[in-house]
A and B are shown apart, each in its own frame.
Chain A
């Protein structure tokens, strides 16, 4: 294969794998994180600080801690590994599914927190109005909450996606560096650098910087626009 943009086919394979991983993880996270953010916003429970702390854990834990425990938990004698084996799924380390699960855990707070912030900013008023109009809770969520909290969801998606693309330590520890399965961009860059292939490392790294800058530019540009709209309204 002709090298496209100076990148070898293994580089492209890693790029597509990373994008596939990040897309899938973002979609899963939106589905899981939304009810959690909703619960955290509305609950009166004494458990709230406990759950909030658990949600935020991946923010402060070094990826090596998460990777190390995932490797053990998902292994043949770990609790997760025993479960997946009894379901006939085998074990998760060294598989794409394993990376998806690890990334969902790792990027969880990056999706929950923006959603939670925007839900909290809504306040109770729109919900009460919806309730007096006899909207069901589900109805309220889809026709009132979701449109009003849209900026939060968009920020959450961008952050979740970008954070998964930038993931390294956890994947290095549970991935096994298999091309097309677990060899994502960050791991491949690391391999290029360590094996002194600085040219390839440069091209991929520069690509990552440009990508990250564009993502953040979109994010901040979008937030700016939202603020202007709010001011005008």
Chain B
């Protein structure tokens, strides 16, 4: 259609343009995602792919799940919540702040014992030697990776023995930072953070409860197509490849005890 030939042109042209803009906006929506800090690197990659396929626009806000929970509880403008655990999405559902049908597990985290001193291999036996001063772990009360690390130490029978050497990071990123700055000799970090060239011990999943990371759509985003499209994409085989690339698993292997 050539709008040049229409009568009372200026008014009609502009209203036409507006309606065209509006209709294009309807298919390309905006979604804001609150995301646990440990998953931010794979998420950047996932979102880049998703935006190419769908025309939707995704804004990522990375932080701690506990803080997000408090913020969502008090009306923060997030549409989707990717938690580092399974507890907080459940609680949001119980509070009526999230959609129960949208709940799913987007990743299972793996734990790595990591150190910057690349002179000797890191194994399950590393922590039994007395030659280190500090072991960095994430706060077990706040971070699922910290809780898992504590469970590993209990399983290894080391919890009491090296309790005095613990230094506690507020989250898994800070735990990483304590080791990276060499202030702690070893630390339990997320496999997604593990620098490929460094020695580390990928902790068997049998030594801790699964680090189940759940995602949920928040009630305020009920009508937001982008939120639903994004979660659908995260469950696709293409997304699973990227997620696994970053050291996560998409299914839990904890029942498979033979792998110990």
* Identity of the chain B residue whose Cβ is nearest the Cβ of A194 in the assembled complex: B66
- Measured CB to CB, the closest approach of chain B to A46, in angstroms, equals 37
- Measured CB to CB, the closest approach of chain B to A30, in angstroms, equals 30
State the CA gap A206–B139 with chains docked (Å): 24
- Measured CB to CB, the closest approach of chain A to B136, in angstroms, equals 8
- Measured CB to CB, the closest approach of chain B to A223, in angstroms, equals 37
- Measured CB to CB, the closest approach of chain A to B164, in angstroms, equals 9
Tell whether A178 pairs with B183 under 8 Å between CB atoms, given A191-B142, A195-B142, A196-B69: no
State the CA gap A233–B57 with chains docked (Å): 70
Q: Which residues 112-163 in B have Cβ within 8 Å of A in the complex?
A: 133-134, 136, 139, 141-142
Tell whether A75 pairs with B182 under 8 Å between CB atoms, given A177-B139, A191-B141, A193-B70: yes
Tell me which residues across on chain B come within 8 A of A172, comparing CB atoms. 170, 174
**In the assembled complex, B60 has its CB within 8 A of some CB on chain A:** no
Binary per-residue interface labels of chain B (163-187) against chain A in the complex, 1 for a CB within 8 Å, 0 otherwise:
0001111100010011001111000
**In the assembled complex, A71 has its CB within 8 A of some CB on chain B:** yes
> Which of B177, B182, B183 neighbours the largest number of chain A CB atoms within 10 Å of its CB?
B183
Let me know if A193 and B66 touch, CB within 8 A: yes
Let me know if B133 and A90 touch, CB within 8 A: yes
* Identity of the chain A residue whose Cβ is nearest the Cβ of B178 in the assembled complex: A176
- Measured CB to CB, the closest approach of chain B to A92, in angstroms, equals 9
> Among B64, B67, B169, which residue has its beta carbon within 8 angstroms of that of A176?
B169
* Identity of the chain B residue whose Cβ is nearest the Cβ of A173 in the assembled complex: B174
Main secondary structure of the interface of A (DSSP, over half): loop
State the CA gap A72–B70 with chains docked (Å): 32
Let me know if B66 and A195 touch, CB within 8 A: yes
**Number of A-B residue pairs at CB separation under 8 A:** 64
**Interface residues, chain A, with chain B CB atoms under 8 Å away:** 71-72, 74-77, 90-91, 93-94, 172-173, 176-178, 190-191, 193-196
- Measured CB to CB, the closest approach of chain A to B15, in angstroms, equals 48
- Measured CB to CB, the closest approach of chain B to A179, in angstroms, equals 9
Pairs across A and B, CB under 8 Å, 18 listed = A71-B177, A71-B181, A71-B183, A75-B181, A75-B183, A76-B183, A93-B178, A94-B167, A173-B174, A176-B136, A176-B167, A177-B167, A177-B170, A178-B167, A191-B141, A193-B67, A193-B70, A194-B64
Tell me which residues across on chain B come within 8 A of A71, comparing CB atoms. 177-178, 181, 183
Q: Which residues 166-210 in B have Cβ within 8 Å of A in the complex?
A: 166-170, 174, 177-178, 181-184
State the CA gap A154–B45 with chains docked (Å): 56
* Identity of the chain A residue whose Cβ is nearest the Cβ of B87 in the assembled complex: A196
Let me know if A91 and B183 touch, CB within 8 A: yes
Let me know if A196 and B177 touch, CB within 8 A: no
Tell me which residues across on chain A come within 8 A of B134, comparing CB atoms. 94, 176
Tell me which residues across on chain B come within 8 A of A93, comparing CB atoms. 167, 178, 181, 183
Binary per-residue interface labels of chain B (61-79) against chain A in the complex, 1 for a CB within 8 Å, 0 otherwise:
0001011011000000000
Let me know if B183 and A94 touch, CB within 8 A: yes
- Measured CB to CB, the closest approach of chain A to B31, in angstroms, equals 25
> Among B70, B178, B181, which residue has its beta carbon within 8 angstroms of that of A196?
B70
Tell me which residues across on chain A come within 8 A of B181, comparing CB atoms. 71-72, 75, 93
Let me know if B183 and A191 touch, CB within 8 A: no
- 5 further interface pairs, Cβ-Cβ under 8 Å (given A75-B182, A195-B66): A90-B133, A172-B174, A178-B167, A194-B142, A196-B70
State the CA gap A193–B133 with chains docked (Å): 30
State the CA gap A194–B84 with chains docked (Å): 13
- Measured CB to CB, the closest approach of chain A to B116, in angstroms, equals 10
- Measured CB to CB, the closest approach of chain B to A25, in angstroms, equals 21
Tell me which residues across on chain A come within 8 A of B69, comparing CB atoms. 196
Let me know if A194 and B67 touch, CB within 8 A: yes
> Which of A74, A77, A91, A177 neighbours the largest number of chain B CB atoms within 10 Å of its CB?
A177
- Measured CB to CB, the closest approach of chain A to B76, in angstroms, equals 15
